[in-house]
Amino acid sequence: MTDILINTPHIAFVYGISPTLLIIMVATALASWIVSSTLKRRFNEYSQIPIQFTGAQIAETMLRENGITDVKVIHTPGKLTDHYDPTKKTVNLSEGVYAMNSIAAAAVAAHECGHAIQHAKSYAWLTMRSKMVPAVQFAGKTLNIFLIASIFGASFFNTPAFLYIWVTLFAVTTLFAFVTLPVEFDASRRALVWLEGSRVSSAMDHDKAKNALFWAAMTYVVAAIGSLATLLYYVSMLFGRRD
């Protein structure tokens, strides 16, 4: 599930790959693979548990019951590509969610509506996240340019001034990753509260919806921790503690 897609390098390279950076890369990649695999497995499992309503119906009902009438529920291609677009005010549901009547589809649809509710209520963390988007997009593009330049051996990579710039840009993307966490967890909380109150699923199915949303949130947690670990590595380089 994605909400605002920012093109930023997951792991960046400066001054080559040290043992410490290699460990961070491998650990982050392994954790991401475990979480992603578990999320897909849970989603596939809970997609086999039918309920009365489709994902689109769940989304439309949740929005209506929360007094939101200016947000459209639309279909978007792909798998687990569900997201809320605050600029167009659309809840975009993927192929496995929009027309499917399963507990997994209900959980995902309700989660994305949670973001729409945050937007309508001017939820502080979502507002901060939205304001950061231009800066994060700039930082991500610039880091990618630097990364490509490093492959061709650009000489300015050996200067302290460059490292200051690199750390500053990477700090922006790391901060964004952490600001995203309360946004995602709050959207899931709103989704679960509504699902429980609406009685569209049994208590057992509610626990499964909670589990699916937990693993979805963990993808953001792993990304944030990996980004922070990489940032701290570059900060240590900045202060002369290179391995």
Q: At 95, is the secondary structure helix, strand, or coil? A: helix
Nearest to 230 by CA among 26, 33, 36, 37: 26
Q: Is 196 a catalytic residue?
A: no
pLDDT over 90, % of the chain:
64
What beta strand segments (E) does the chain contain?
72-75, 83-85, 90-93
- Predicted confidence (pLDDT) per residue in 57-112, tens digit: 999 999 999 999 999 999 999 888 999 999 999 999 998 899 999 999 999 999 99
* Catalytic-labelled residue, pool 45, 95, 112, 184: 112
What's this model's pTM, rounded to 2 decimal places?
0.84
Q: At 76, is the secondary structure helix, strand, or coil? A: coil
**Which pLDDT value is given to residue 67?**
95
Q: Which residue has the tokens 């993808």?
A: 219
**Which pLDDT value is given to residue 153?**
59
- Predicted confidence (pLDDT) per residue in 192-233, tens digit: 999 988 877 665 578 888 999 999 999 999 999 999 999 998
CA distance 50 to 235: 50
